[in-house]
Chain A
Amino acid sequence: MSAALPGTVEADVAVVGAGPAGLAAAVASAEAGAAVVVVDAGPQPGGQFWRHRPESVEPDPDGKGHHGWRTYRDLRARFDAARHSGRITYVPGQQVWMAEKVHAGFVVRTTPTVTAGPTSGTADGGSTVVARRLVLCPGGYDRQLPVPGWDLPGVMAAGGIQAFIKGNGGLPGKRFVIAGTGPFLLPVAAGIAEAGGQVLAVLESSSPKAWLPHLRAAAGVPEKALEGVEYGAVFARHRIPYRIRTIVTEVLGTDCASGVRTAKVDAEGRVRPGTERVYRDVDVVGFGWGFTPQMELPLSLGVETRMDADGSLVGVVTERQESSIPGLFLAGEVTGVGGATLAVLEGLTAGTAAAAAPAPAAVVPGLRAMARHRRFAEAMHRAHPVPAAWQDWLAPQTTVCRCEEVTAGEITAARDDLGAHHARTLKSFTRAGMGWCQGRVCGFAAACLGAGPGAAPSIESLSGAAKRPLAAPVGIGELAALKNTDD
């Protein structure tokens, strides 16, 4: 960020995030006449879905490998126009570490995402945003299930591989296996193949038959079927095997991943004996088990939550995307994982509502489209569940918390011997979720382990896993400064 960061920015509407939901919310608010400030952790707009190479080296990306790129171009042009006219103040490269409700609205405090390299902020270069209304669009990240060997270098989140390709234009390896569940595995594998990598297999724990009870909901979003056909063609062209009811039971290797052991599973995820198979000379293994919405900011403000069809903790919103906290709007994955098209519709709705003064319940544009996309998302979640028996795949010595190196055996011992059933209690007893990532990676798995084999974690346990007093690591100086600015 070459431009000097304003210390304190005031606005009618603050938007956190500049992915599909955040861009849409910012544009809608600004076009409705509001003064908007957009805070984003990334160095340029797009979020994860529309992540692209740095515009300093590729000023006019062609959108190859992207979906909805025309929508992005449209939103981006409107975003840039609003910046130009002064309606939008854009604060990139800053992550929010604290959000508070005050009598006049909301205060959002930020800290630089990176403090090195050409896009860095300085270590003391945070900012404070004060706004009457707040739209949170923080997105989500790959949900993970631990498996023996998953902490070896060469194992990546499926979305991380895609981000690597989109952001760098190259590949993190040569020979890949992609595993987990859900339609998202398809674009990841297709992206690898189109970039010149070899995908040895895509392993899907579920089966296309799981969609059968949900065909009506699926038919409501025909463009998804078209995307499927597109991936089918890429898979055929590159001869990518797609194996259903199959999981990785172990990542092989000593200091880095060198292969995977796989097995067939039944509908509950129980391994079928005698179906084991080994893939060798694998240098990257990608795992994705759906997504986890980034709930720490909504939770820190105390929004009402619910459990979505995929088992994720999400925020409850009205038709106008307003949370249970007046003036606080949520859009995108934090209201339920549903993809970019839905996120844009929610962002437009939230941004419009946030810009207006307490408006009459006008007809919300896009309501029916949003309903169709939500039904599709629910069908997808039900067709691609986290397998009920996944905890059976763990060995006692399998690492669950990668930061603090807490094993499955330590967690189940705390559960069985000390009665620690909630993620929060498990954290106190075992340190699972207490390291750098603050449980973002292991939180879901730890909550499942606390609930016990085959059981789903409670909403309280998931909340405990997702609550973080600080939404991003900050320096002592920023905390000390906070004391001085408090009234």
Chain B
Amino acid sequence: MSANTSGNNPSGTPGEVTVSFDGRPITTSAGQSVGSALVTNGITAWRDTRKHARPRGLFCGIGVCFDCLVTVDGAPNQRACLVEVHEGMEIKGSSEPNVPPLAEPEGGRK
């Protein structure tokens, strides 16, 4: 594993990491997942479903359900439960359509 996860640490507190969520700075610590950084800062939902615009956040917690998708440093559709934070990371919730990147199973488009 890459040893340097905390990166620059302008705050000076050991292990403290500042990231942004929709432009707003939030504080967390090195080694946290994006989902943990958000939830422990009181942000429990960061995506709206495309059909009924219902809020979504963490659910399965292990990368299976894709409920917790976020945009991280410009990379869309990242699972917040799996991505680890780094100093200065830009996290964006999404309410735009989240179209699965790939084709559905054969037999799907009937």
Contact = CB atoms under 8 A, between A and B. Distances in A.
A208 B63 CA distance: 32
Nearest to B104: A434
B61 A255 contact: no
B47 to A, nearest CB: 9
Given A142-B60, A405-B52, A473 B40 contact: no
A164 B55 contact: no
B1 A55 contact: yes
Give the dominant DSSP class at B's interface.
loop
Contacts of A154: 44, 57
A173 interface: yes
A369 B96 CA distance: 52
Contacts of A116: 72-73, 75, 78, 83, 89
Interface residues of B, number: 61
A7 interface: no
A475 B88 CA distance: 27
A428 B110 CA distance: 7
A402 B58 CA distance: 12
Nearest to A140: B64
Nearest to B85: A117
Interface in A1-18: 1-2
Interface string A418-456: 000000100110000011111011000000000000000
A160 B54 contact: no
Interface stretch (A41-49, A101-109, A230-238): A41-49
Max count, chain A CB within 10 A of own CB: residue among B35, B86, B101, B104: B104
A403 interface: yes
Nearest to B39: A172
A168 B64 contact: no
Given A116-B73, A163-B61, A170-B40, A54 B100 contact: no
Interface stretch (A349-357, A359-367, A462-470): A462-470
A166 B20 CA distance: 24
A436 B101 CA distance: 9
Contacts of A424: 107
Contacts of B33: 164, 167-168
Nearest to A95: B63
Interface string B75-89: 101110111111001
A160 B61 contact: yes
B2 to A, nearest CB: 4
B9 interface: no
Contacts of A159: 60-62
A29 interface: no
A404 B51 contact: yes
Interface string B1-37: 1111111000000010000000000000111111110
Contact of A156 (B55, B59, B73): B59
A56 B40 contact: no
A41 B81 CA distance: 13
19 contacts: A56-B31, A117-B78, A154-B44, A154-B57, A159-B60, A160-B58, A160-B59, A164-B35, A164-B36, A168-B33, A172-B36, A402-B65, A405-B49, A405-B51, A405-B54, A428-B108, A437-B66, A440-B65, A476-B101
Interface of B: 1-7, 15, 29-36, 39-40, 44-45, 49, 51-52, 54-67, 69, 72-73, 75, 77-79, 81-86, 89, 98, 100-102, 104-108, 110
Going nearest first, the 3 A-B pairs with the smallest beta carbon separation are A160-B61, A57-B31, A436-B66
